[in-house]
Amino acid sequence: MKHEYITVAHSEIHSFIQNKYKDGFNYLLDITAIDYTEYIDTHEEEYSVIYIIRHKDFKLHVVIKTYLPTLEIDSITDIFSGANWLEREVYDQYGVIFTNHPNLRRVLNHREFVGHPLRKSYPITKGQLLYETDDLVDEMNNRLLSKEVVCSLEDGSFSECNKDLMFLNLGPSHPASHGTIRTYVALDGETIEAAVSEIGYLHRGFEKSCENHTYNQIVPYTDRLNYCSAISNNIAFVKTVEDMLGVTLSERAQAIRVMLLELSRVEDHIVCLAAVLVDMGGLTNYWYMYNPREDIYDLLSKLTGARLTNSFMRVGGMANDLYDGFDEDLKEVIKKVQYGVNETLKLIKHNKIFHDRTQNVGVISAEDAINASMTGPNLRASGVSFDMRKDTPYYGYEKYEFDVIVGSVGDVYDRVMVRYAEIDESIKIIEQVMQNLPEGDVNIKDASITLPTKEAAYTTIEGAMNQFKLIYEGVKVPAKEYYGSLEATNGELGFFIVSDGSGTPYKVKVKAPSFTAMSAYPQMVEGSQLADAILTLGSLNIIAGEMDR
């Protein structure tokens, strides 16, 4: 599939994207910027902004690039609501001003931060202390004004027209908000009138760290993006790098990757479902759901050496082949997973409390979900059948029999049930993979990409040099800009990588599914009850590591 890379003049960007939108490119993937100040060859300007949009048949994406003569550009928030936070992030990290943006403020770094950390001139270790957290009052006031809940008086203050509002701060230090998500709500009784979210409490500088490590050293960092399903992040990253290198993996490696992708999808959905039912007060589900996950952990620690952060993938293959007897262990684990899923379904399938608490709660329509750039199970729950495993197959997904699970309403119930059904579909795929696993090598035989065998490294001079070069300098990736993605557990997880031909990426940008899901969250909960807001957050399966990066 040939994807387009277009360069557009800086003054025409808004009208160009507007026309693209009319042509059916109605799904915004990501916005980011590139700082070319230290790039090997000179570009037109020192800064450029990148827009990645997808066609509504979900098969084709376009990468639009525009160079910035001045650090200002028109905002496209009037076309895509999902652009709001993405543009705020570019402003935060690079200092690009988006004119006509409704709320241009920092989103990941704290408010006392000075400078723009992803610029090449910013030293990586220069930390800045924060003494007092943002109170979000001005953002809340603007939100209330835009919803016409309050009126502004002549002296610049606000009056609550005819409502008695109570302001409440949810999080960040609360298990229901994952310890990292803060939502500030204005309550009228028990109903949320307005909500503003603040994120960035787990912003660990992934993208800046990538610019200082070789490609294989980044794999452990990707583990900690979505820490509930580490292997799928590994695969998403190394797949993008392999596409840039233009190499194809062996049949066996592709099949093992599919199997591990689906296994990590199962374990991620298990955590999400266990947690969302705890948010509802159903602690029993947690005990029944969590034990199969422990069994998956045992299997993965036997295979990779780690329970949670596996770091199993390498550019051009993986760390090891499957061990002898993996097949039987996997069958046992799958039995236990199915048992756990069935037990929890028994508890909730005909449970009136569960149905009343989840149905028609936290609804988001298909149009709104697409416009807000939602993806994965959350988008499918709204009734959009976008699944990259079907739309743009990779690793031979087209050979496997499985269904795309689609919801109808887009409420919490749909999001929970879509995940339950996806566990079954993933198990189907795993069984098909294991039935006819091809024989062969898992690593490609290319001395410039994969490490030599230990025997060669210790006994021959070529092997020793090869090992030394690859470890010290990293895999040399040809100079280009490339966007690659796959269907991870939370949806489309993409990496936009700019390479300058060396063993270290010049820039890496993660298109994180949780980030855009979270940006739609405040609008989703407005008008619902406070307790439902907690459920909605749980059902979106926001993983802070991936959202804040």
Applying CB under 8 A, the residues found at the interface with another protein are 108-110, 117, 122-133, 172-175, 178-180, 200-205, 208-209, 220-221, 224, 227-228, 271, 286-287, 290-291, 293-294, 297, 307-309, 544-545
| Nearer of residues 179 and 478 to another protein, judged by Cβ | 179
Smallest separation (angstroms) from another protein to the CB of 547 = 11
Smallest separation (angstroms) from another protein to the CB of 120 = 13
| Nearer of residues 293 and 357 to another protein, judged by Cβ | 293
Smallest separation (angstroms) from another protein to the CB of 199 = 10
What's the CA gap between 440 and 310, in Å, rounded? 23
Residue with tokens 């602690």: 283
Smallest separation (angstroms) from another protein to the CB of 94 = 14
| Nearer of residues 8 and 347 to another protein, judged by Cβ | 347
419 CB neighbour count, 10 Å cutoff: 26
Question: Which two tokens mark 471?
Answer: 């470890």
| Nearer of residues 221 and 400 to another protein, judged by Cβ | 221
Alpha carbon 170 to its chain centroid, in Å, reads: 23
Question: Which two tokens mark 173?
Answer: 């230090």
Question: Which two tokens mark 97?
Answer: 């001003």
What's the CA gap between 526 and 522, in Å, rounded? 6
Contacts 24+ apart (CB under 8 A), 103-106: 103/139, 103/142, 105/139, 106/200
Smallest separation (angstroms) from another protein to the CB of 53 = 29
Whether a cis peptide bond, with omega within 30° of 0, leads into 377 is no
Smallest separation (angstroms) from another protein to the CB of 119 = 11
Question: Which two tokens mark 88?
Answer: 């705020």
| Nearer of residues 308 and 347 to another protein, judged by Cβ | 308
- Alpha helix ranges (H) inside 204-282: 206-210, 215-223, 230-245, 251-279
Measured distance between the N- and C-terminal CA atoms of the chain, rounded to whole angstroms: 29
Smallest separation (angstroms) from another protein to the CB of 30 = 21
Smallest separation (angstroms) from another protein to the CB of 121 = 13
| Nearer of residues 245 and 296 to another protein, judged by Cβ | 296
Smallest separation (angstroms) from another protein to the CB of 384 = 29
Taking alpha carbons only, the member of 539, 233, 235 closest to residue 380 is 539
Contacts of 66 (CB under 8 A, 6+ apart): 7, 8, 9, 10, 13, 48, 49, 51, 73
| Nearer of residues 44 and 135 to another protein, judged by Cβ | 135
| Nearer of residues 179 and 189 to another protein, judged by Cβ | 179
| Nearer of residues 241 and 544 to another protein, judged by Cβ | 544
Burial 43-80 (b: 16+ CB within 10 A, else e): eeebbbbbbbbbeeebebbbbbbbbbeebebbbbbebb
Q: Are the beta carbons of 533 and 525 closer than 8 angstroms?
A: yes
Find the helix or strand (DSSP H, E) in which 415 lies: helix 412-435
Smallest separation (angstroms) from another protein to the CB of 333 = 14
| Nearer of residues 101 and 203 to another protein, judged by Cβ | 203
Question: Which two tokens mark 540?
Answer: 């979106």
